[in-house]
Amino acid sequence: MTEKELLLDVPVQPPTELFLPIPKKFLEEAYQGDDYLVLVGPQHPGSGHMRIIVRIKGDIIVEAIPDPGYVHRSIEKLAENRLYIQNIPLLERPAIMDTGNLTLGYVRAIESALDIEIPERAKYIRTVLAELSRIGTHLYDAGILAVFMGHTTGFMWPFALREPIVEAITRMSGARITASFVIPGGIRRDVPWNVLEFIRKTTFVIERRLKSFEKIFIRNPTVIARLKGVGVLSKEDAIKFGVVGPFLRASGVEYDVRKVEPYEAYEMLNWDIPVSDDGDSYSRFLVRVEEIAQSISIIRQAVNELRAMPEGNVISEDILADYSNASSDIRGYFFKVFGNLILPQGEYTALTEASRGTLLYSIISDGESNVPYRVRAVTPGWYYLKGFMEALRGERVADLQAIYGSFGYFPPEADR
Amino acid sequence: MIKIKFPKLKTLDNVKLHLDALVVGAKEAIKPGTITIEYPRERRLLPDSFRGYVLFSPENCISCFQCSFVCPANAIGMKLAANNRYYPTIDYTKCIFCHFCVDSCPGAALRPTKVHDVVYKNMNEMITSTEEMVKPPKIVREDGYTVEYVIDGVKLILRRIKEKDNLIPEFKPHEKVKEYSACVMPESCLACGICVSSCPSEAINLSVKEKEKELKIDKERCTGCGICVKECPVQILSLVRE
Amino acid sequence: MVDLGLLGLTMQHFIDNMVSIPLIQPLIDYLLGIPVIGFVVAIILWRPMFALLIFPGLATLMTVLLFIIWFERKLTARIQWRRGPLEVLRWAEGIIQALADGLRYFFQEVIVHRDAHRPYFLQFPILIFIPVLLPLLFIPVGNIVGIRTPYALPITVAIVSLIPVFIVAIGWASNSRFAYIGTVREAFMYFAYEIPFILAVVSMILVYGTADMVTIVEKQSIPGIILNPIAALVFFISTVMATSRLPFEIPEADQEIAFGPFVEYSGIMFGLVMTIAYEKMYILSLLMSVLFLGGGNGPTIPLLGDLSAVIWMFIKTMVVMVALSFLRSIYARIRLDQALRISWTAMLQISLLAVAIGVVLNLANVV
Amino acid sequence: MSENVEFLGSGIFAPFKKWGTKWSLWPVHLVTACCGVELAHAYASGYDGERLGSLNYGIARQTNLIIVEGAISRKMARVLKITYEQMPDPKFVVVMGACGLKGGLFWNGYHMVRPSDVVPVDFFIPGCPPTPESLLRSIRALQEKIMSGKAETTISFDKVDLSEIEGRSSAARPPTTPKFIAPTPSIKVDVPKDVDWEFGKKLVKEFEKDLNGLYNSITITAKNRIAISAEKKNIMAIANILSKRFDHVKNVNVIDLPHENSFIVEYQVSSYSDKKLMPVVVNIYARIPRDNPRFPSLVTFWPSADYLEREMYDLFGVWFEGNPAMGERFLLAPDTPDFPLRKDRKLKEEEYCFCEVRE
């Protein structure tokens, strides 16, 4: 094969033919029968950045074929061309609202390669950030679920509740959404006590306002009617199609990477995995609501632990080497410390429990270069897309949005 | 493990849930928990560490290229100024405001501001030259109030202060460690002169007298930028401390 | 005196049947003295014409439209912890927001796409105003009424029932997949709410023993909602369904089928079709206040004369409309089959109960 | 001046047109990438864009503003164009986020398009993602543009003279790239590691017994990680045995090794049903020749591998025999070059220096 440069030449004329990822035969077959094809998305008020080709018979979905890739941003390719440290913001981008967990996943893969132990304080702060992101993402998904069912209040309130979380992340890291706060060996800078106190108070605000949210949305009879018994994934199916995260737990599998392969401070804290046996859209939603409560409890415990800890040292001495004076704030030494980071040869796979489920980052290093040879990122959305499509089968067309929302499917996360 | 089970609803439960929802709605309609920040008129108080536009102080810059190297989006390019030094320019079409550059800058020449609410009419204007990065930019502001998120007990309060927020926070430079470049294995030197020509502060002097090669590094002038260390083809230079 | 000799109508004819407003009677008298203006004033204040043009007719309809769209957004915003339309007119909380939107629509391009049935696509949004506006003639406000007939109530109900037919036609003319699904849903919903709706009306006819709305209002010394609360409930829920408001916003469901029948409309044509639901809501609210809330009944304000009935009626109608708007921020949209199930089981049962109450009250001769 | 603004400013109705459009800028629901998060914040309770008369609304026909929320991929570019064409005049476009301007973080990605090449853009907002404030600022700027007919950038800079600062006598040689990429990298995915993991050692023994003769080597690469090297012809047999204990695939991965003229195909499998095996990730891999990349599909054993295999075909061109959807594009747009993740597909390199070295 010859060396080729990839050039960007995009036809900007509107296409004359619609591109569909299905064979023409399928189209003809569908139309010859009684079936009817509906293309949902990408410019559709009830779909994100993807297209779902729905084949319906009457009001029942016979088959749903996904057409993802509308937000495929070539993250894996780009990651092979950048320094290890430059990939932190890059690999955060699949789901920016889940910043804590996505950066944590990549950084943990690096740390497992370098075999470094990170300071206790950094562990707890990372946990707090990850759980804040988790609450934020679950609220985001609740909002999207609500708006998919036409419940605008159910959309506005979670986003209003995200505001104090965003504020907390801003005070921690300086950015509203994309914190890029976790770095190999720790976190970028120590979080002062008043910010941690703000985070702790935030949990009470969220808890209080969630109570009225529960009455108007979670326990709203119309919401129950729309979600109960819809899009059921049995335990066997969920395992077979590799569904992950809260959606797997809603089908009755007690699997959470935070418990199975504990990382950061999760082992030291007291919390539980919510599991449901129903496997329908409503239980998928309720599991995440319960997870918010668990996250709130984790944050409170972690902040209480942090109160007792001395401030300072949040970056591991192992990685700082000569620059140990930067252990509480990396400012001024960032490139000096991380610019020439080289991982030993081998493959390093880190599993992380991101908000929507298992997140896998696999780094393959050749041991000489300061850029990764290959980075494989499999995001939760990509895992459960298959299960999501299977859950649609046999449901009504109107339920497509409800099931979509109950999975919290976020195309940028799936497409990478 | 917490088992989540939702009980089957009877008609009466349903009526209660309907009433619950309606009552909550009515309550909010009467006494709303509004949290809106009316942006063009008000501005949210951001922490001093907020990652907005970047300011540059040329006197602190040691032309070490680290900001440019670390930029994940390759938004920072070094530009040759009239005084023959390289200074950063930021292309805000690519900048992602991660402030890796600010965290990398060993001389604390880059500092963050809280300027962020900016729109441009075309992309050419967005490449900000070094000359433009020194003074705080002027932005269109319509705000008269500053709003702060305050949590009182379990209540979220928006505290409104009738004054304009200062968008250029005070900047505390980090503690610097004096480092300088030194030749650790002078005998391997090729006398190629790459280090001499790439040193931004003209601190390296190479004298070749017949077979005698002497690499002299002026400790006073050396800023510890590390370019020579990186460029040396045989990697015999390294950063050392006193 | 201008003489319309051919028709045998004189200005006196109009003046005899004029809305009396003691407060501005001198002004009216003065205006009547001026030749042409006087005639115009007489016609406008002529009771049937007043009903058509001022209240409950066109002028009020337009004002209510602008107001209720704004109010709905404002109320929703308030419940949702935000401000809603504001900056367009800050001191009045942005009350003219709907006007700005309307103007924008008015000057936007109207796209008729290739596959649409062009004549029908453009005609129906205008033709639909016939069934929307006609019922206004039959609705009485005190003694102001366009056409008084003993069959006013059945006629109104019949005309209102025509609206879904036009919406189905609109969807057919659009020739789009989502429009098709939307019209099918509209047709289903029509079957869902129509029977309980008619039963509720029938039960009230039984209660009052007449279908003449003027008489119905006169007979309501006790409001209908107290006499037959179940019929009122059925009527209210049917109104929610008929105007496709949440939780029964099924035919338009924007997240599912992108505004269903109206998916292809743009510019002022969309402005027209979007307001249909609000106009329908206005008419059904008027009907509800006539049937259940005593119409224009209320303490008379002597100075306002006939207008006091207008004001009472307006207040009652607005209360109903506000209640309908309130639901928007409380409920999610339910599914078509669930809506059908609700109407064919629970709704039908309680509407039959309402009829039974009507029969009992009729036999007992309560009213 | 764009024709849209010209239209609004012409005729005797100009004040009405301008006023109506100014206070009724309705963005269409076209979510293109992750900046949608901040867009939602800008229109939710925290900032409430509806105050400015801007209401997020359903579909193209009824709106007059496109907010391009970040990255536009090749696939999405068509949708953006179609949506723009569907919209009635006058219409406006605001691009938010670095990805939408010049690609931002993904500036040299193979699947990225600049929205300004596709549709005429009125305003650009920097940031990744831009704050809701800057989005609302763009609405304000657009309102100003409609009223005055002229677009204005909302930031201005004072220039200073830098020549007085002491510098070098002549320009220094700009440094080379900080990246170091080994020309002939040696890739090994099963680097053994000595870990304290009793269960793993037991598991390896069991595998050695179960897979007797089918594997090349079984290595513990880290705690909870086991790598099984095998030949391509034995993969089906191994999968058949392992699928009884491991019920799902965590990852299907291909590593391109052009200098060895081969691909490494990896399947990382794990279990949900067995509590003890839950943390264990077993990596089964085989090398296949690069010029005829065919590999047996394991969908029959693990249905969860389906989309992962299709993705790998898209990116590397490895044909998974037995997967019915092979040969079709899945993630990539039809006009993307084939198999972009192969190593010989080079991306544009970074530039660190905007400099012409003066001699």
- Architecture of the domain delimited by D175-359: 2-Layer Sandwich (3.30)
Tell which A residues from 64 to 93 touch B, by Cβ distance under 8 Å: 82-83, 85-90
Structural domain for A80, as ranges: 75-322+342-415
How much of chain A is in helix, strand and coil states, percent to nearest 5?
50, 15, 35
Same domain, C174 and C308: yes
Q: With cut-offs at 50, 70 and 90, classify the pLDDT of residue A46.
A: low
A370 at interface of D, judged by CB pairs closer than 8 A: yes
The distance of A175 to chain B (nearest Cα, Å) reads 6
User: Is pLDDT at C125 greater than 60 in this prediction?
Assistant: yes
Residue D47's closest CA among D133, D174, D153, D159? D133
By Cβ distance, the residue of A82, A171, A174 closest to B72 is A82
- The mean per-residue pLDDT over the stretch A288-298 comes to 90
> Can you give the pLDDT at residue C80?
87
The tokens for D128 are 């990744």
β-bridge pairing A4-5 and D345-346: parallel
Say how many Å lie between the first and final Cα of chain C, rounded. Answer: 45
Tens digits of residue pLDDT in C202-261: 888 888 888 888 888 888 877 878 888 888 888 888 888 888 887 888 777 777 777 778
Residues C41 and C135 in one domain: no
* C324 pLDDT tier (thresholds 50, 70, 90): confident
Over the stretch B164-197, which tens digit does the pLDDT of each residue have? 888 888 888 877 778 888 777 877 777 787 888 8
Smallest CA–CA distance, residue D329 to chain A, in Å, is 7
pLDDT tens digit sequence for A87-143? 888 888 888 888 888 888 888 888 888 888 888 888 898 899 899 899 999 999 888
Can you count the helices (H) and strands (E) in chain B? 6, 14
Q: Which of D76, D272, D342 sits opposite A239 (nearest CB)?
A: D272
CATH code of the domain containing A366: 1.10.645.10
Residue B75 above 50 pLDDT?
Answer: yes
pLDDT band at C7 (very low <50, low <70, confident <90, very high): low
* C144 shares its domain with C19: no
> Which of C120, A392, B91, A371 has its CA nearest to residue D352?
B91
Domain that holds residue C14: 3-45
- Band (pLDDT 50/70/90 cuts) for residue A18 is low
Is C25 found in the same domain as C159? no
Is the separation of the CB atoms in D168 and B202 below 8 Å?
yes
Q: Taking CB atoms and an 8 Å limit, are B38 and C83 in contact across chains?
A: yes
Longest dimension (CA), chain C: 63
Q: Thinking of the domain D3-148, which architecture would CATH place it in?
A: 3-Layer(aba) Sandwich (3.40)
Q: What share of chain D is helix, strand, coil (3-state, %, to 5)?
A: 30, 20, 50
Q: From the centroid of its chain, how far is CA D132?
A: 23
Q: Do D281 and A339 touch (CB under 8 A)?
A: no
Residue A208 in any domain: the answer is: yes
Residue A13 lies in a domain: no
* D324, burial (CB in 10 Å: exposed 0-12, middle 13-18, buried 19+): exposed
pLDDT tens digits, D166-207: 777 777 777 888 888 888 888 888 888 888 888 888 888 888
pLDDT at residue D236, as a whole number: 86
Same domain for A183 and A211: yes
Dist CA A331 CA C253 (whole Å):
52
* Chain-centre distance for alpha carbon A170: 19
Give, in order, the Cα–Cα distances in Å from B91 to each of B53, B84, B94, D157.
11, 21, 6, 14
User: Do C164 and C266 fall within a single domain?
Assistant: yes
CA distances from B108 to A273, D122, D157, D352 (A): 46, 36, 21, 20
- Quote the minimal CA–CA distance from D93 to chain A in Å: 15
Minimal C-alpha gap between C194 and chain B (Å): 24
Backbone angles phi, psi at A329, to 5 degrees: -160, 120
Higher-pLDDT residue of A401 and A17 is A401
DSSP state at residue A93: G
Q: Which two tokens stand for residue D37?
A: 């998060």
B98-140 confidence digits (pLDDT tens): 888 888 888 888 888 888 888 888 888 888 888 888 888 888 8
Q: What's the pLDDT score for residue D355?
A: 59
Residues of B in contact with A283 (CB under 8 A): 4, 6
pLDDT tens profile D251-275: 888 888 888 888 888 888 888 888 8
- For the record, the structure tokens of B33 come out as 């928990």
Report the C-alpha gap between A300 and A199 in whole angstroms. 9
The answer to whether C40 touches C28, Cβ cutoff 8 Å, is no
pLDDT tens for each residue of B41-61: 888 888 888 888 888 888 888
Number of residue pairs across A and B with CB atoms under 8 Å? 158
Tokens standing for residue B164: 């304009």
Q: Are residues A305 and A161 in the same domain?
A: yes
**pLDDT value at residue A21:** 62
Whether residue A327 lies inside any domain: the answer is no
- Per DSSP bridges, beta strands D72-73 and B127-128 are unpaired
A272/B176 touch (CB, cutoff 8 Å), yes or no: no
Facing residues of A4 across strands? Answer: D345
Say whether both C160 and C273 belong to one domain: yes
> Residue C9: what pLDDT?
61
C91 contact B CB<8A: no
Mean pLDDT of D81-108: 84
Across the interface, do C81 and B21 touch by the CB < 8 Å criterion?
no
A189-210 per-position pLDDT tens digit: 888 888 888 888 889 888 888 8
Q: What is the pLDDT of residues C145-162, one digit of tens each?
A: 777 788 888 888 888 888
- Tell me the percentage of chain B whose pLDDT exceeds 90: 0
Q: How far is A410 from chain C (nearest CA, A)?
A: 16
Among A16, A32, A67, where does a domain finish?
A67
Residues C290 and C167 grouped into a single domain: yes
pLDDT of residue A45: 65
Summary mean pLDDT of chain C = 82
Whether A30 has a pLDDT exceeding 80, the answer reads no
Going along chain B from its start, the domains and CATH numbers come out as 48-139 (3.30.70.3270), 179-241 (3.30.70.20)
The answer, yes or no, to whether residue A9 has pLDDT greater than 60, is no
**DSSP assignments along D128-154, one per residue:** SSPPHHHHHHHHHHHHHHHHHS----S
pLDDT of residue D206: 86
More confidently predicted of B219 and C72:
C72
Residue A16 lies in a domain: no
Residue the block writes with tokens 């009396």: C20
Give the mean pLDDT of chain D. Answer: 83
CB contact under 8 A, D304 and A253: no
* The pLDDT of residue A7: 41
Give percent of chain C above pLDDT 70. Answer: 96
Contact B130, B89 (CB under 8 A): yes
Say how many domains are in chain A.
2
- pLDDT at A1 (0 to 100): 35
What mean pLDDT comes out for the span A80-90?
87
pLDDT tier, D357 (very low <50, low <70, confident <90, very high otherwise): very low
Q: Do A216 and C330 touch (CB under 8 A)?
A: yes
Q: What is the ipTM of this complex?
A: 0.89
Is residue A191 included in any domain, yes or no?
yes
Q: Is residue A336 part of a domain?
A: no
Whether C2 has a pLDDT exceeding 60, the answer reads no
Alpha-carbon span D203 to D207, nearest angstrom: 6
pLDDT digits (tens, 9 = 90+) for C57-84: 788 888 888 888 888 888 888 888 888 8
Q: Per the CB < 8 Å rule, is C81 touching A157? A: yes
* Cα–Cα dist B145/B161, whole Å: 6
pTM surpassing 0.80? yes
